[in-house]
Amino acid sequence: MKKTTTPVNKNDIIEVLFEDLTHEGAGVAKVDGYPIFVQNALPGEKAKIKVLKANKGYGFGRLMEIIENSPYRVEISTEDYNKYGGCQLQHMSYEGQLEFKEKQVRDVMTRIGKLEDATVYPVIGMENPTHYRNKAQVPVGEKDGKMIAGFFKPRTHEIVETKESIIQNEVISEAVQVVKEVFSNLGIPAYNEQTHKGVLRHIMARYGKQTGELMIVLVTRTSSIPFIETIVKEITDRLPQVKSIVQNVNTKKTNVILGDKMTLLWGNEVIYDRIGDVKFAISAKSFYQINPDQTKVLYDKALEYAGLTGEETVIDAYCGIGTISLFLAQKAKKVIGVEVVEEAIEDARRNAELNEIANAEFVVGDAGNVIAEYYQKGNTADVIVMDPPRKGCEESLLNTIIEMKPKKVVYVSCNPGTLARDLHILEEGGYQAIKIQPVDMFPMTTHVENVVLLELK
């Protein structure tokens, strides 16, 4: 049998020129057409790399020395790179990040979506692309006999002590440190993954940016927490913004953060926040967008593309806790929100009540099935809005849309690849993608959201 040869071998040290970035933010260099992926490298850079792995069709390498820098490179320390594992693009200037994301969207729309005529607009970025996250779930452990809280080092379960983060809201970073100190001072042990002993597993914090309200969730292995009255008093004394302290019990040996049992220890079960004129109640388990400033930009664009006059019936597939539905309801005759998660629908109904919005109704169920049944009963919609999970829309839903023929479809997506695939199906079914607007919801990462307007041909 003929042995496959590759132009490089493991442990080779070679000089390369980087041509592109992957969707995960790794630099792509080619040796005789053979791609090698290297973290922390940028297009246009010449560098020395060490080959770590040489598979049949592609390899992986490590950056040894940069010979020529990209104009978009921003210097950061290795310590910071390890510390902020989720920030794949922190070594790239913000201007460079926005250009990369726009190119990513254009490429997949042409390659996967086969969309020649749709206008892809420049990415709407943030004025200040740091400290935007309104939620943290921070693992807790022990090192050298001390409690530490931080983030897992990329591709490991080693916790890197992190007191602040470039993308985390400062209020949340402070809250995590306060909780860690309170537990540490009382000698309450952190959870140990290996021995499955200890008490505190994760510290979760949620922050309402517009209201200033803070929720603390203590994720524990044990049902009881020693010195709980002292803990509550210390936290509320040191963090006056706290409106809710909740305990979540997770007794399992698992990587899943939250367990099933929630107990309110102090304050309210929810905190509140606003996006534009709409108020939202957020519980410990509610899905709520983590960048509220850019969420408003995204939803304003969805509302603009829907072009509502007050006469339309709108279906919001994958409605979650009703965030987009309640935005649309301000301008539509009627909105029907559909979501498979029952707790999310309960939250959506509560949020409609909270805002005294009477023209939005919410249905539990799979979007494809619910909307197909709705159509079979002789009902229709003028506009369908959808914001599916990363895997994109079910084919059954796309087929129902093609049969139902609403005048407009507004597709909000967090994954350009599955978006392009679904747009291609809708285009073949009689729709035309008119406008694609990328929005940068997650600066310093490779993720980009898009809002697309499709109209019936």
Q: Which residues are designated catalytic?
A: 414
Nearest of 46, 43, 47 to residue 13 by alpha carbon: 47
Query: In sequence order, which residues have a C-beta less than 8 Å from that of residue 58 and are 6 or more positions away?
Result: 34, 35, 36, 37
d(CA 141, CA 160): 10
Residue carrying the six token digits 């009703």 = 322
- Sequential DSSP letters for 143-188: ETTEEEEEEEPTTS-PEEE-S--SSB-HHHHHHHHHHHHHHHHTTP
CA 235 to chain CA mean position, Å: 28
The gap from C-alpha 46 to its chain's centroid, in whole angstroms, comes to 32
For residue 204, the number of C-alpha atoms closer than 13 Å in the C-beta half-sphere is 21
- Do 220 and 250 touch, CB atoms closer than 8 A? yes
Question: How many alpha carbons lie under 13 Å from residue 113 in its C-beta half-sphere?
Answer: 29
Give the pairing type, strands 242-249 and 261-267: antiparallel
| Residue 290: DSSP 8-state | S
Strand, coil or helix: what is 86? coil
For residue 344, the surrounding DSSP H or E stretch is helix 342-354
What is the distance between the alpha carbons of residues 315 and 426, in angstroms, rounded to a whole number? 17
**Where in 186-339 does DSSP place strands (E)?**
200-208, 213-220, 242-249, 261-267, 271-275, 278-282, 313-317, 334-339
Burial (0-12, 13-18, 19+ Cβ within 10 Å), 58: middle
Q: Which residue has the tokens 């829309």?
A: 393
Q: CA 265 to CA 135: how far, in whole Å?
A: 19
